[in-house]
Structure 1
Amino acid sequence: MAKITSVDVLQADLKPKVKRTDAIQSFETQETPIVRITDADGATGTGYSYTIGTGGSSVCRLIDDHLAPLLIGREAEAIEAIWRALFFRVHATTVGALTSIALAAIDTALWDLRARKTGLPLHRLAGGAKEAIDLYSTEGGWLHMDEAELVEEAVKAKEAKFGGTKIKVGRPHVAEDMRRLALVRDAVGPAFEIMTDANQGLTLDEAVRRARHFESLDIAWFEEPIHADDVGAHRRLARSTAIPIAIGESLYSLSQFKDYLEAGACSIVQVDVGRIGGITPWLKVAHLCEAFNVPVAPHFLMELHLGLTCAVPNSRWLEYIPQLDLVTTAPIRIVDGRAIPSDAPGLGIDWDFAALERLIVHRSSHGAAPGLVPPL
């Protein structure tokens, strides 16, 4: 094993590739905290996480002031011990988004370092369960899109051999949501999946009402219908409908997922490596779901989640929502609507540091051998 000698911290701001709106918000920019960890052997791992427009500078400050200094001199291979030490160092700010996002950037860097040093791709290092994962598209279903555009994008996804498309719901009246969904269903037929996502925008009674209407369209799932903190409301909703209830992108700890699973309040788990605090807790959630016979279909970060969904046996879908191709040298490989993970050692992300350099808004270095990415 080799000790950590330096930690470098970046923030790069990536503009959304398309306009993205849902029932409660708009995706302003992908603030991307990036951490690079170098060990005494000279090996480096790169990790990252994200926000959708606010908090990125606070995440970087948390890493700079409280987390990165604790990494210097630690054995890089002791990933579990490091994660727990960092978690308890900032225990007063957990469980919460900013701390989880900060931990995720560090933890994914450590996993990238481990994978590169062992010569294995993430999907094999973390389990090696699958060689590919089914894709569904999110980019063609945003709430602001008109009906013709929704239909056009869904048909394109089907022609690309994707397995489904996600349509945002939460228009002022259920009749509006139903018209939009029905037009898509008519266009793609019964064998193509339609996922719906309310982004926590509904009350329990309205979620029950809309689920009752959505059942006639045989939708694949009803995602985040109610505020994520309310396990009881999700349990009541799940008991009222045959539609699978999907949750997870707004949960930040293993225990929160345990509460949902024990309550029978969900049947699809969308655990997000950037929100849960990294690969280390992501894998724990995935295996916990396996014990409950519940599939995982992670939220966002498709480039990183590709390796993870192929690592575990109970993964079902990968969300196609590209963003990192702005700062990588190659997109993910897709064959017949399925994503295939890279066999290169590491996370499977080939960063274009020259492109990244132009988007950096924060840079700092810690340790004996600083120097994240030389200015290019």
Structure 2
Amino acid sequence: MSKITRIEVMNVDLKAKVARSDAIQSFTKQETPMVRIFTDDGQDGTGYAYTIGNGSSAVVAMVRDTLAPWLIGRNAERIEEIWKGLFFLVHANAVGPTASLAIAALDTALWDLRCKRAGLPLHVMAGGAQKRVPVYNTEGGWLNFTPDELVAHAVKAREEGFRGFKVKVGRPHVSEDVQRLRVVREALGSGMELMVDANQLFDVPEAIRRARHFEELDLAWFEEPMPAEDLNGHVRLSASTSLPVAIGESLYHLSHFREYLQRDACSVVQVDVARIGGITPWLKVAHLAESFNVPVNPHYLMELHVSLCAAVPNSQWVEYIPQLDDITHSRMKMVDGYAVPSDAPGNGIDWNWDAIQRMRDNHAVIDGK
């Protein structure tokens, strides 16, 4: 038995390296709730989640005041039992982002512990299905970039070895989106995949209209075309277009993915390890998608998703948006356009604790005393 004796919780604000705007928001910083779990056998594991812009204080408070005290004294190896216990402990706040992000920070720390104790990297411990996964670049495709800037970024991404490039859509008129996409497609040719992301902007008629205009561009997928809660709208869109419809970053429970898959409402699953509640439910969603013969291409958090994508057989892509560089020694390794997961025991992230201690706020320690 490995008994949990102490938990540290904190937040670190990470500024975006480039201006990032999509159809519904501007992304100026990432608030990063972090936890460290210590056990009586001298081991420790680190986990984290994120919020875009604000909201981290609520996540930190839930961990500090409710979840972490419940964990003290428990067996860190019983991850499934712990996840279920944490979920029902805050059931009045679930299903939703705050509870999921708080549980995710703890769950990813427990997996880090499990892998370190076993002496295995996460991608092997969680499945070991692939040794490398293709990478696509989102960092150069934000909605605030001009068409000329998009072309320059796309060409640079191709030269750097990326195998795909994603462009944000949601300009006031469909012709503007099409013009932006067309110049990128012409610059890249047909040998590099092109994805688009609307960040839930459209209603059903406009999503169907835009998809019709996008089809000629041979897109890899049309991401978050409508609000995630509009399941029936996604059914209607998927039935009306040849474009693969991608969803998942704004879903917070395994059952929600099941409903989308059962109703043929999506062709790509983009489950986010923080927003789904950690590695434990992420793997369940990935294997659920596998049973429907649907790929899982997760949203954001590339530093953690690279290992999870390599763990499962149906992952096709890792999304490139670097965000942890200021607080880590490690970087995601990319070779010939493929992400290669770390073979170090644990979750594959080498944290820079000196930098974290300088930048952290809302720090608290929970122990059994």
> TM class, shorter-chain normalised?
over 0.9
Distance 2:70 2:274 in 1: 21
**Equivalent residue, structure 2, for 1:125:** 125
Asked whether the 8 Å contact 2:73–2:368 carries over to 1, the reply is no
Distance 1:326 1:18 in 2: 14
1:363 counterpart letter in structure 2: H
Distance 2:32 2:358 in 1: 13
1:59 aligns with 2:59: yes
Distance 2:17 2:102 in 1: 24
**Equivalent residue, structure 2, for 1:18:** 18
Shift of 1:330: 2.2
Q: Secondary structure at the match of 1:273?
A: coil
Structure 1 runs (4+) deviating above 2 angstroms are: none
**Equivalent residue, structure 2, for 1:103:** 103
Distance 1:331 1:73 in 2: 34
1:33 aligns with 2:33: yes
1:295 counterpart letter in structure 2: P
Q: Secondary structure at the match of 2:130?
A: coil
1:219-230 matched pairs, under 5 angstroms = 219-230=219-230
Distance 1:202 1:368 in 2: 50
**Equivalent residue, structure 2, for 1:251:** 251
Q: Secondary structure at the match of 1:36?
A: strand
1:136-155 matched pairs, under 5 angstroms = 136-155=136-155
1:58 counterpart letter in structure 2: A
**Equivalent residue, structure 2, for 1:172:** 172
Distance 2:131 2:184 in 1: 31
Distance 2:168 2:5 in 1: 45
Q: Secondary structure at the match of 2:27?
A: coil
Shift of 1:186: 0.4
Shift of 1:39: 0.6
1:210 aligns with 2:225: no
Asked whether the 8 Å contact 2:113–2:346 carries over to 1, the reply is yes
Distance 1:90 1:355 in 2: 32
Distance 2:28 2:69 in 1: 31
Q: Deviations over 1:52-111 (max 9, x none)?
A: 011100100011111000000100000000000010011000000000000000000000
Distance 2:325 2:118 in 1: 26
**Equivalent residue, structure 2, for 1:50:** 50
Distance 1:46 1:368 in 2: 19
Q: Secondary structure at the match of 2:361?
A: strand
**Equivalent residue, structure 1, for 2:309:** 309
Distance 2:290 2:56 in 1: 33
1:332-343 matched pairs, under 5 angstroms = 332-343=332-343
Shift of 1:325: 1.3
**Equivalent residue, structure 2, for 1:318:** 318
Shift of 1:50: 0.2
Q: Secondary structure at the match of 1:276?
A: coil
Unaligned 5+ runs, structure 2: none
Q: Secondary structure at the match of 1:274?
A: coil
1:227 counterpart letter in structure 2: P
1:348 counterpart letter in structure 2: G
Q: Secondary structure at the match of 1:275?
A: coil
Distance 1:156 1:28 in 2: 23
Shift of 1:29: 1.3
Distance 1:92 1:354 in 2: 37
Q: Deviations over 1:179-227 (max 9, x none)?
A: 0000000000012111000000011100100000000010110000000
1:80 aligns with 2:80: yes
Distance 1:368 1:229 in 2: 41
Q: Which shifted more, 43-52 or 22-31?
A: 22-31
Q: Which shifted more, 311-320 or 25-34?
A: 25-34
Over the aligned positions, Cα root-mean-square deviation in angstroms equals 0.7
**Equivalent residue, structure 2, for 1:239:** 239
Distance 1:87 1:305 in 2: 22
Q: Secondary structure at the match of 1:288?
A: helix
Distance 2:35 2:15 in 1: 20
Q: What is the number of equivalent residue pairs in this alignment?
A: 369
Distance 2:208 2:19 in 1: 29
Shift of 1:131: 0.5
Distance 1:247 1:277 in 2: 17
**Equivalent residue, structure 2, for 1:8:** 8
**Equivalent residue, structure 2, for 1:372:** none
**Equivalent residue, structure 2, for 1:275:** 275
Distance 1:175 1:242 in 2: 19
Asked whether the 8 Å contact 2:300–2:321 carries over to 1, the reply is yes
Q: Deviations over 1:32-58 (max 9, x none)?
A: 010100111010000000000111001
Unaligned 5+ runs, structure 1: 370-376
Q: Secondary structure at the match of 1:343?
A: coil
Distance 2:20 2:100 in 1: 23
**Equivalent residue, structure 2, for 1:160:** 160
Shift of 1:357: 1.6
1:194 counterpart letter in structure 2: L
**Equivalent residue, structure 2, for 1:356:** 356
Shift of 1:160: 1.5
